[in-house]
Amino acid sequence: RKEVEQDPGPFNVPEGATVAFNCTYSNSASQSFFWYRQDCRKEPKLLMSVYSSGNEDGRFTAQLNRASQYISLLIRDSKLSDSATYLCVVNNYQLIWGAGTKLIIKP
Partner 1 sequence: DAGVIQSPRHEVTEMGQEVTLRCKLISGHNSLFWYRQTMMRGLELLIYFNNNVPIDDSGMPEDRFSAKMPNASFSTLKIQPSEPRDSAVYFCASSLGRGLPNTEAFFGQGTRLTVV
55 binds partner 1 (CB under 8 A): no
54 binds partner 1 (CB under 8 A): no
CA–CA gap between residue 57 and residue 98 (Å, rounded): 22
Distance CA 28, CA 102 (A): 26
Question: Looking at beta carbons only, is 8 or 14 nearer to partner 1?
Answer: 8
Residue 15 CA to residue 76 CA, distance in Å, equals: 10
User: Does 62 sit near partner 1 (CB under 8 A)?
Assistant: no
Instruction: Between 3 and 76, name the residue whose CB sits nearer to partner 1.
Output: 3
Piece in contact with partner 1 (CB under 8 A), picked from 18-26, 41-49, 62-70, 71-79: 41-49
Q: Does 90 bind partner 1 (CB under 8 A)?
A: no
Residue 12 CA, chain-centre distance (Å), reads: 16
Report the site for partner 1 in 21-40 (rule: CB under 8 A).
31-32, 34
Q: What is the DSSP string of 58-97?
A: TTEEEEEETTTTEEEEEE-S--GGG-EEEEEEEESSSEEE
Q: Nearer Cβ to partner 1, position 87 or 105?
A: 87
Phi and psi for 65 in degrees, rounded to 5?
A: -120, 95
**By CB under 8 A, is residue 66 in contact with partner 1?**
no
Which of 26, 92 has the CB closer to partner 1? 92
